[in-house]
Amino acid sequence: MNVVVDRFIELSVVEQYRRLTKNERYEKNECLKYLTERQWKLAKLKNLSLMAHMTDDTKWQHEICAEFEELERR
């Protein structure tokens, strides 16, 4: 699992028991921004992958899959 995901979850759990510090709130917000951007990129790649599949463009499909795998590793 991604370290950003781990930290976001950790801060979310801590927040249930006490108010987050200013730095923790900032960090949680930055995690959320990162995760939101990452999800949009994943959704875009999934849609492009579907388009490549529907047009039988295997070269494009492989390029998209490589981008998807690279994003998943981060």
Q: What would the pLDDT profile of 6-25 be if each residue is shown by its tens digit?
A: 999 999 999 999 999 999 99
What per-residue confidence (pLDDT) applies to 73?
81
pTM for the model stands at 0.81
Of residues 30, 42, 35, 44, the one with CA closest to residue 2: 35
Contact 39, 48 (CB under 8 A): no
Mean pLDDT of the chain: 94
What per-residue confidence (pLDDT) applies to 74?
75
Q: Which pair of structure tokens corresponds to residue 74?
A: 């981060």
DSSP letters, the chain, are: --HHHHHHHHHHHHHHHSPPPHHHHHHHHHHHHHHHHHHHHHHHHHHHHHHHHHTT-HHHHHHHHHHHHHHHH-
Q: Residue 1 pLDDT more than 70?
A: no
Q: What would the pLDDT profile of 42-60 be if each residue is shown by its tens digit?
A: 999 999 999 999 999 999 9
